[in-house]
Amino acid sequence: MSHYAWASHRTFPLQGEDLAVLADRNSGWCVLTRDEYLSLNAALPIRIGEADAPAALDRLWAAGLATRDGLHADRALYQPSTYPTAVLLKLTGTCNIECEYCYDYDAKRFKAQQSFASIRDTLQRLLDRQDRISVAFHGGEPLLRFGLIQDVVDWLAPHRARIGYSIQTNATRFTPAVLDFLDRHDFSVGISLDGVDEASNGLRTTRRSPTPLEGVRRLMRERPEFVRDRCGFLAVASQTSAPGLPAFATWLQAFGVSGLSITFLDLAGRGAGLVDQRLSPDEAVELYRTLIGMIRRGEIKELGIRNLIARMHNLFMLQSRDMCYRGPCGAAGDFLVLDAEGGQRTCDCVYHPYFEVEAADVDAPSQSQPARRAILDRHEWLRTEGDTCATCPIFGLCGGTCVAKAIVRTGTDRSVDPVECALSKYIYPELLREFVAAERPLFEYYARHEAKPFEFLAA
């Protein structure tokens, strides 16, 4: 005999009699009619033989919405890796351009240069413990240290099959040698650009040539296949760039680019004073409403809007593997940043002592590092006590959003970033309502880009 009970969950009314029932310890969910929900409420908890359990109960269990003998299904449990799997290497604090908003700028750090020895030590420790590692080259401007990138890739050659490479760059330092190297080693290349004209890139400032936009245009002209096969774009949404982002998306799509990520301006580093450039939560939602409208009308189709797709992952699996759009996020376990000054951090989205891994802890399993425990504790606090998330129906899908953005906005981790919160409150209900509607253009868009089946039966 087994004892079945509801897992901790919340409900969200959809059209008519439909109700979304959402777990809050994982992103499992299902849609029931009000009557079905009430009759399950009357029936649970129940002691019954596993073989005799009605199919509906098994489906709830598989969707992370029921416990059996007090336990969740395995895949409904948060299972961080013991050691990080994604390493971001800050190669330098230096940059050849002066973006007005750069969160990474700090007068002292600007001069800091990463050492090969420090990278080797860190990667060797991880290679001894993990099967696969993704290595991201970052900065400052990482291509200012192309020699160091080559040294690291050479040194990692015996482990090539276990490594995935990526780089995030401002696109001003591409040369044929750099491009051939990135091709040869199968890099995924993130290019930072805020729009299709110089005005939209007004906060990505440089007095030299090429500007980031000129760098991208040249790359598109000279190596179009490189752009199509390898490059995704990352735009910062601000008052300067936001009006042009829908046109930027269609421009990238017309060229054959496969992905665009949009991040919202954080007031950090050189950008600390740019209050007037920040989008309000309503303006951020309006931008997404526009993009989602374009997807629904088929105007955005081949281009993957990565942040939207990452949020959608949560509807399809009980514990998303996406680093940022899940709770607790990658900073709680999977993500490791080696900063330009040689220290380790759980994330680099903003520079704050909260993310520093103490020197004494760098070799410890993630779960026993206080900097990572803090993120788990925040997540549990949001779930149970936080005045916004504790009663929010979509907490299991949303997870409380980025802790770094929350800290930079409010100064404390016991809070949520209002822009990210507003986006979750807009996007998830929109998706849940579409799920029960006759037409599902957003789900079709997701299938085109991800083709992931539901990991569990959602209705």
Name the residues that contact ligand SF4, by CB under 6 A: 95, 97-99, 102, 104, 139-141, 170, 192, 204, 323-324, 329-331, 335, 347, 349, 388-389, 392, 394-395, 398, 400-404, 416, 421, 424-425
Report cis status (omega within 30 of 0) of the bond before 142: no
Closest distance to ligand SAM from the beta carbon of 274 (Å): 8
Closest distance to ligand SF4 from the beta carbon of 217 (Å): 17
Residue 234 interface partner, choices ligand SF4, ligand SAM, none, CB cut-off 5-8 Å depending on type: ligand SAM
Q: Which residues here bind ligand SAM, judged by CB under 6 A?
A: 95, 101-104, 138-139, 141, 168-170, 192, 234, 236, 263, 265-266, 268, 271
Closest distance to ligand SAM from the beta carbon of 407 (Å): 13
Residue 236 interface partner, choices ligand SAM, ligand SF4, none, CB cut-off 5-8 Å depending on type: ligand SAM
Residue 138 interface partner, choices ligand SAM, ligand SF4, none, CB cut-off 5-8 Å depending on type: ligand SAM
Which one, 5 or 362, has the nearer CB to ligand SF4? Answer: 362
Residue 268 interface partner, choices ligand SAM, ligand SF4, none, CB cut-off 5-8 Å depending on type: ligand SAM
Residue 402 interface partner, choices ligand SF4, ligand SAM, none, CB cut-off 5-8 Å depending on type: ligand SF4
Residue 323 interface partner, choices ligand SAM, ligand SF4, none, CB cut-off 5-8 Å depending on type: ligand SF4
Which one, 244 or 393, has the nearer CB to ligand SF4? Answer: 393
Closest distance to ligand SAM from the beta carbon of 112 (Å): 14
Token look-up 């942040």 returns: 307
Residue 48 interface partner, choices ligand SAM, ligand SF4, none, CB cut-off 5-8 Å depending on type: none
Task: Pick the closest to residue 36 from 51, 52, 54 (CA basis).
Answer: 54
Amino acid at 136: A
Give 208-215 contacts, CB < 8 A, sequence gap 24+: 208/96, 208/97, 208/172, 210/172, 211/97, 211/172, 212/97, 212/170, 212/171, 212/172, 215/170, 215/171, 215/172, 215/173, 215/174
Ramachandran angles phi, psi of 23, nearest 5°: -65, 155
Closest distance to ligand SAM from the beta carbon of 205 (Å): 12
Give 412-420 contacts, CB < 8 A, sequence gap 24+: 413/354, 413/374, 413/375, 413/378, 414/378, 414/381, 414/382, 414/386, 415/386, 416/382, 416/386, 416/388, 416/389, 418/281, 419/264, 419/278, 419/279, 419/280, 419/281, 419/284, 420/264
Which one, 311 or 383, has the nearer CB to ligand SAM? Answer: 311
Closest distance to ligand SAM from the beta carbon of 365 (Å): 28
Token look-up 């598109």 returns: 220
Closest distance to ligand SAM from the beta carbon of 432 (Å): 29
Which one, 192 or 319, has the nearer CB to ligand SAM? Answer: 192
Which one, 249 or 265, has the nearer CB to ligand SAM? Answer: 265
Which one, 250 or 263, has the nearer CB to ligand SAM? Answer: 263
Which one, 164 or 256, has the nearer CB to ligand SF4? Answer: 164
Closest distance to ligand SF4 from the beta carbon of 397 (Å): 8
Residue 335 interface partner, choices ligand SAM, ligand SF4, none, CB cut-off 5-8 Å depending on type: ligand SF4
Residue 404 interface partner, choices ligand SF4, ligand SAM, none, CB cut-off 5-8 Å depending on type: ligand SF4
Which one, 65 or 144, has the nearer CB to ligand SAM? Answer: 144
DSSP string spanning 32-93? EEHHHHHHHHHH-SEEE-GGGS-HHHHHHHHTTSEEETTB--GGGS----SS-SEEEEE-BS
Helix (H) or strand (E) holding 431: helix 418-435
Contacts of 107 (CB under 8 A, 6+ apart): none
Distance CA 232, CA 226 (A): 11
Return the HEC string of 133-161: EEEEEECCCHHHHHHHHHHHHHHHHHHHH
Residue nearest to ligand SAM (CB): 192
Closest distance to ligand SAM from the beta carbon of 163 (Å): 20
362 Cα distance to chain centroid: 24
Which one, 378 or 449, has the nearer CB to ligand SF4? Answer: 378
Closest distance to ligand SAM from the beta carbon of 271 (Å): 4
Give the strand pairing for 46-48 and 2-6.
antiparallel
Which one, 170 or 320, has the nearer CB to ligand SF4? Answer: 170
Read off the tokens for 412: 């404390």
DSSP string spanning 96-110? SS--TT-TT--TTGG
Distance CA 383, CA 371 (A): 19
Which one, 72 or 372, has the nearer CB to ligand SF4? Answer: 372
Closest distance to ligand SF4 from the beta carbon of 313 (Å): 14
Amino acid at 118: S
Q: What share of the chain is helix, strand, coil (3-state, %, to 5)?
A: 45, 15, 40
Residue 403 interface partner, choices ligand SF4, ligand SAM, none, CB cut-off 5-8 Å depending on type: ligand SF4
